[in-house]
Amino acid sequence: MDSGVGTATGASAGPVADVVAVDLGPGVRAGFTRRPGGVSRGPWAGLDLGLHVGDDPDHVLENRRLVERWAGMPVWYPRQVHGREVAVLDAPPEPGRALASGADGAECDAAVAVGRGHAVAVVVADCVPVLLADPAAGVVAAAHAGRPGLLAGVLESTVEAMVARGAVPASIRVALGPSAGPCCYEVPEQMRDDAAARVPETAATTRAGTPAIDLRAGCAAVLRRAGVGSVRTVGGCTIDDESFYSYRRAKVTGRCGGVVGIAP
């Protein structure tokens, strides 16, 4: 992990949000949550942020409050559908709406926050959480980049939405969070070849020599072609690392998150 990354777990008393903090520039609060901490139980035990995975909604909402406490501002979550649509928040959400937005929010796989005092997030369990920021322009974004969304163009759409609100591609800093790695993300050969036909950098093999997809290599390549100035990778493979939720490892499981906002 590079020098711009650290772990922050909040206050010592009671449940906390275990978050790997990432430096994306002055005033930007950004990080990737891990499984430890939180109040969820059973197969979702830990800091589950997914309202759509069968966990007790009250537990998930409390976990989201812990993340808001870490962020120091309201955090808005889209209702993800593995597409390329982007929501843009020009002002903080109404009180209470941020926490529950996984249930009633817009169907999209990326969200842009303009200005200070509110954050956006995505939830993942092997897909790539992508955090983007142009601090000088006051624009940040979070994107959910699984195989379908990456190939559909969700990252290009996210950069375009940021630019439309004043961001400059060369000034955008990006962190790609923990996700399924090519070491473990085995897929049928035809699926790998189809993905590589769209994004060549996704082609990979597992440690066992079978066909695989490298999601983060694909994300980095797409972002660089979009003119993004800085792209870094944080953490390892979620299938290998049990401190993260992984759908490939357990179909009934929770969701980690990536969150970014500009401090008030």
Strands 119-124 and 256-262, by their bridges, are: antiparallel
Do 79 and 107 meet the contact criterion of CB atoms below 8 Å apart? Answer: yes
- CA-nearest of 162, 173, 169 to 89 is 162
Nearest-Å Rg of the Cα atoms of the chain is 17
What is the residue type of 242? Answer: E
Lookup: tokens for 48: 């589950």
Strands 5-8 and 75-76, by their bridges, are: unpaired
> What rounded mean pLDDT belongs to the chain?
92
Q: What is the mean pLDDT of residues 150-159?
A: 98
Do 103 and 69 meet the contact criterion of CB atoms below 8 Å apart? Answer: no
Residue 10 binned pLDDT confidence (cut-offs 50, 70, 90): very low
CA angle in degrees (0–180, nearest 5) for 142-64-228:
10
Residue 92 is predicted with a pLDDT of: 81
Say what the pTM is. Answer: 0.92
Residue 8 is predicted with a pLDDT of: 52
- Asked if residue 6 has pLDDT above 90, the reply is no
Q: What is the mean pLDDT of residues 167-182?
A: 98
CATH of 5-9+16-262, picked from 1.20.1050.10, 3.40.50.1950, 3.65.10.10, 3.60.140.10, is 3.60.140.10
pLDDT in tens, 206-262: 999 999 999 999 999 999 999 999 999 999 999 999 999 999 999 999 999 999 999
